[in-house]
């Protein structure tokens, strides 16, 4: 069973991870494989964006530490919107330290990420202690992580060997890892979801190292399951119309892929 030829529905039963299953269900039922990267700097903008694009997304990706006015109210509102529109919360914290430190960063500090984020991003660089550290902080909650195995930015140091080693790490920790943030995947394992950022229509870069491909290219050529789109939507003159456009492009490309 090759991941790239399978429908999201058919992949539900390939995994016991409750959040992987939930995400496949949301994608299949809502007919969307779009994740919006909500890189805005105030709670008001974040909440307003989440409410507007909510009907079109399966996941809302945050960088919670770029908000200038974060408070518990931010989280209460995001969780309400996630329930209202049926999407998951994905904090792009990119944990990358020893297990003991990431456990504290996950559960403590100002953001208490473990209390509200369904999924978080993690670098495999420290070795699997980073995963064990995060898991030690979960305390019975249903949580998961996405391993950043390859970056979209030019000159990224994520070699083929690094990508391979992240795959092995994921296979050893399937109870926590739901997939990869990556630009490509050789793995056909249907349990793992491939999330691909660096997606934008009409631009190839941002002048600061980001490199873009189109939704079709991400899904049909690189094998993405979910596209992550930030400024293509947040900086559009009409973010809702842009979200609809990316959603349709991405879901059409996925449907085309599973036909073959």
Active site annotation includes 92: yes
Helix or strand holding residue 177 (H, E): strand 177-181
Shortest CB 121 distance to ligand BMP, Å: 6
Active site annotation includes 189: no
Q: Taking the CB of residue 128, how many other CB atoms lie within 10 A of it?
A: 17
215 binds ligand BMP (CB under 6 A): no
Residue 152 phi/psi, 5° resolution? -85, -15
Grouping H, G, I as helix, E, B as strand and the rest as coil, residue 35 is strand
CA distances from 32 to 42, 177, 225, 252, 258 (A): 26, 21, 10, 10, 15
Shortest CB 259 distance to ligand BMP, Å: 28
Residue 132 phi/psi, 5° resolution? -60, -40
Q: Is 222 a known ligand-binding residue?
A: no
Binding mask 163-202 for ligand BMP (x = CB under 6 A): ------------------x---------------xx-x--
d(C-alpha 117, C-alpha 121), whole Å: 10
* Stretch of residues binding ligand BMP (CB under 6 A), selected from 10-18, 101-109, 162-170, 229-237: 229-237
Q: Is 107 a known ligand-binding residue?
A: no
Question: Which of 151, 166, 170, 218 lies at the binding interface for ligand BMP (CB under 6 A)?
Answer: 151
| Contacts of ligand BMP in 108-137 (CB under 6 A) | none
228 binds ligand BMP (CB under 6 A): yes
Q: Which two tokens stand for residue 180?
A: 């990869």
* Stretch of residues binding ligand BMP (CB under 6 A), selected from 40-48, 80-88, 169-177, 228-236: 228-236
| Contacts of ligand BMP in 22-61 (CB under 6 A) | 37, 39
d(C-alpha 150, C-alpha 27), whole Å: 23
List 51, 97, 189, 206, catalytic entry: 97
d(C-alpha 246, C-alpha 256), whole Å: 15
Question: Which of 53, 130, 229, 243 lies at the binding interface for ligand BMP (CB under 6 A)?
Answer: 229
Residue 200: name the closest of 227, 225, 240 by CA.
227
Q: Number of residues in contact with ligand BMP, rule: CB under 6 A?
A: 17
d(C-alpha 236, C-alpha 19), whole Å: 30
Q: Is 152 a known ligand-binding residue?
A: yes
Q: Is 61 a known ligand-binding residue?
A: yes
Which residues belong to the annotated binding site for substrate?
39, 61, 152, 200, 210, 230-231
As annotated, the active-site residues are: 92, 94, 97
């Amino acid at each position: 069973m090759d991941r790239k030829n399978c429908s999201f529905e058919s992949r539900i039963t390939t995994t016991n991870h409750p959040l992987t299953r939930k995400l496949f269900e949301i994608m299949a039922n809502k007919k969307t494989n779009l994740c919006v990267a909500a890189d805005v700097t105030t709670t008001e903008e974040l909440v307003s964006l989440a409410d507007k694009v909510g009907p079109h997304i399966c996941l809302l990706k945050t960088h919670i530490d770029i908000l200038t006015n974060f408070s518990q109210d931010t989280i209460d509102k995001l969780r309400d919107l996630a329930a209202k529109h049926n999407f998951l919360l994905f904090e792009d914290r990119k944990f990358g330290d020893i297990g003991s430190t990431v456990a504290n960063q996950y559960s403590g500090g100002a953001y208490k990420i473990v209390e509200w984020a369904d999924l978080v991003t993690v670098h495999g660089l420290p070795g699997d202690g980073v995963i064990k550290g995060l898991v030690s902080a979960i305390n019975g909650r249903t949580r998961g992580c996405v391993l950043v195995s390859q970056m979209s930015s030019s000159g990224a140091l994520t070699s083929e060997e690094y990508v391979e080693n992240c795959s092995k790490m994921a296979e050893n920790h399937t109870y926590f890892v739901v997939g990869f943030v990556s630009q490509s995947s050789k793995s056909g394992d249907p349990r793992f979801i491939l999330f691909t950022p660096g997606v934008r229509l009409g631009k190839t870069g941002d002048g600061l190292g980001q490199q873009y491909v189109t939704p079709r290219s991400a899904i049909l050529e690189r094998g993405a399951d979910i596209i992550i789109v930030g400024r293509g939507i947040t900086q559009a003159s009409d973010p809702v119309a842009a979200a609809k456009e990316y959603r349709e492009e991405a879901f059409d490309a996925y449907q085309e892929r599973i036909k073959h």
